[in-house]
Chains A and B, each alone.
Chain A
Amino acid sequence: MNVNYSKWFRAALYIIAAITCLIILYPYVVMFFSSVKGMDEIYRIPGTLLPEKWNLSNYLTVWKHIPLGYYFRNSAIVACGATALSITCAIPTGYALARMNFPGKKGFMQFIIITQMFAPVVLLVGIYKIMMTFHLTNSLFGLILLIAAFNQAFSSWLLSGTFATISRELEEAATIDGCTRLQAVIRVIIPLAAPGIVTAVIHAFIGAWNEYTLTLVLISDTYKKSLNVGIRAFFGYTNVEWWYVFTCSLLTTLPILLLFQAIDKYIVGGLTAGGVKG
């Protein structure tokens, strides 16, 4: 609504935006301040707002309490592996959905929508049983397969929307020049669909990096846990070592937030360009 209203309307815009920013920032500020407080300060009643003493050393000592290096490595392996597998499978599926007519197409699309409804948590018992059968518990590879599988609906849907916006003629020109269909997809379609693919990659990566429930249920070996599940070590029976919980939380969250500052236009841009509603 690019129309100028009264100054009350302008004031309302600023007030709503400011309140939104404050509420969103609040947990991150709490996370940061609490991560540098010492034990005595965390448990003081009433709590302090700003840290009295800045224990930045928490960020060094935390590495001695849990195998954080392993957790970073595991989270990176699972996130990269699941993203790569998921997108590699979703590209041909998205292409087939966008370009081909085949018997049972409508049924397949409904099947895809229905699988999107199922979050891993509602299937936990079945998943646990199947992963036991395949000896894929306590396995990063098992997690990669599962996360990629649950991501298929979203990724192939998004990519099929992106592929549908690309002109068929370019692809046909390539076929006339002697490319097979597969070559045409690799040389013509994929480069043109790059923004949509980036969006799909971002969504898959975030989902996998932040995955919690499956890792919690399937991984019990300390050295195979991810950052998110590893943090649970600081939740004791009687008290919680909050300062370490939050040092790890920030170390987990910052790489993602920094990555986003660089590529934030793709996060939403690709979603609308791809015509995915939702």
Chain B
Amino acid sequence: MDARIRKKPGIARFEAYLWMLPTLTLVSVFVLFPVLESVYMSFSKVSKAGIIKSFGTLDNFRYVLKQPVFPRVIVNTVVWTVLIVLISIVISITLAIVLNERFHLRRITRTMLLFPWATSGFITACVWKYALDYQYGSVNALLIRSGLVKKNINFLGNADSAFAWLIFVGVFVTVPFMTFTLLSGLQSISVDYYEAATIDGAGFWDKLFKITLPLLRPAINVTIVLNVIYCFNSFVFVHTITGGTPAHRTDTIMTYLYWMAFSKGNYGAAAAISVIGFIVLLIFSVIYMNVQMKEETA
């Protein structure tokens, strides 16, 4: 190696920034700038056309917090995120363990799991909206024709049942990629542990709770934090299937933000909702970084 590379004088230490310039430019202009713009707007008086009138007011935040539906929206977002991640992680761990075994259905199941991940969220949402329709939905058709129920069930009829079905769809789209991440974690666990445990007379449950789950722990932690973020940011399923109806009672922060900006035309209030969203996301990212670093040092 020549001296030029080994020991760099002053300015050359910054060479890396030259390599990263395209990424830095893109991210600054199209991610960082909108963040700053949203923060600025949230503290400003904004006209219906989206023009900033004056800076330095808390009215947008007051307005949002005063909305009678806002607590419901927050509770929905928490329930949506927590339930989807919890249910998905249980299903995904089970599926990952299943797919780590050799048996005939393994390959086809693995291939199929990629389908929901490769399909656009909007299309998945459309199918389930149709499938769950009260009048002519295919789930009702299946239940009636197979004689399981006498008359159609109105799955999306009230807020609670609609929200439960939204969570079902959320789980449907979350499980595939989660399973693949956990499966790759499982495959990195050495077979030796299991062989030694078998010699010691350990059964399936012993191995599950004493070997598999403890060793999978770091992968599970990272998966949970990442998926909490994905679910929190999720928009298209709620927007397409219920659109927040009835009366915002199935809205999450993201769909409520969209409605506030593009249906109601209150950009200032929407920016305030964004900022509330950032704060939650920032808390998550700090947790994520800690989890990630713990894993790297462990």
Contacts and interface: CB of A to CB of B under 8 A. Distances in A.
A204 to B, nearest CB: 13
Given A93-B19, A119-B233, A209-B120, A13 B26 contact: no
B232 to A, nearest CB: 9
8 contacts: A18-B105, A102-B16, A113-B289, A121-B233, A126-B35, A212-B121, A252-B120, A260-B118
Contact of B284 (A9, A117, A175, A240): A117
Interface in A210-246: 210, 212-213, 217, 228-229, 231, 240, 242, 245-246
Contact of B212 (A1, A25, A145, A264): A1
A138 to B, nearest CB: 15
Contacts of B257: 121-122, 124-125
A13 B101 CA distance: 8
B26 A148 contact: yes
A115 B282 CA distance: 10
Contacts of A93: 19-20, 22-23
Contacts of B145: 46, 49
B130 A34 contact: yes
A231 B38 contact: no
Interface stretch (B61-69, B78-86, B106-114, B157-165): B106-114
**For A125, A253, A256, which residue has the most chain B Cβ atoms within 10 angstroms?**
A125
A45 B119 CA distance: 29
Interface residues of A, number: 102
Interface string B1-22: 1000100000001111101101
A170 interface: no
B271 A126 contact: yes
Contacts of B16: 96, 100-102, 105
A26 B33 CA distance: 42
A253 B119 contact: yes
B129 to A, nearest CB: 8
Interface string B133-172: 0011110111011000000100000000000000000001
A179 to B, nearest CB: 12
Interface in B200-231: 204, 207, 212, 218-219, 222-223, 226, 229-230
Given A100-B19, A123-B38, A149-B30, 20 more contacts: A1-B212, A3-B194, A13-B103, A13-B105, A17-B105, A24-B112, A31-B127, A49-B141, A93-B19, A114-B282, A121-B258, A125-B261, A129-B267, A175-B5, A210-B119, A252-B123, A257-B119, A260-B118, A271-B181, A278-B181
Contacts of A28: 115, 127
Return the 10 tightest CB-CB contacts between A and B, nearest first: A126-B34, A47-B141, A210-B120, A119-B233, A149-B30, A126-B38, A102-B16, A89-B22, A126-B37, A96-B19
Interface string A54-86: 000000000000000000000000000000010
B180 interface: yes
B137 A47 contact: yes
A46 B152 contact: yes
B289 A92 contact: no
B155 to A, nearest CB: 14
Contacts of B122: 210, 212, 228-229, 231
B124 A43 contact: no
What's the dominant secondary structure at chain A's contact region? helix
Given A24-B112, A260-B118, A92 B50 contact: no
Contacts of A53: none
Nearest to B224: A278
Contact of B180 (A26, A114, A153, A268): A268
B102 A127 contact: no
B274 A126 contact: yes
A166 interface: no
B41 to A, nearest CB: 6
A261 to B, nearest CB: 7
A150 B141 contact: no
Given A9-B204, A20-B113, A228-B120, A2 B102 contact: yes
B194 to A, nearest CB: 5
A187 B128 CA distance: 48
B74 interface: no
Contacts of A183: none
Given A20-B113, A119-B233, A127 B128 contact: no
Contact of A264 (B114, B218, B262): B114
A164 interface: no
A135 interface: no
Interface string A7-31: 0011011101110110111111011
Interface in A236-278: 240, 242, 245-246, 249, 252-253, 256-257, 260-261, 264, 267-268, 271-272, 277-278
B57 interface: no
A249 B127 contact: yes
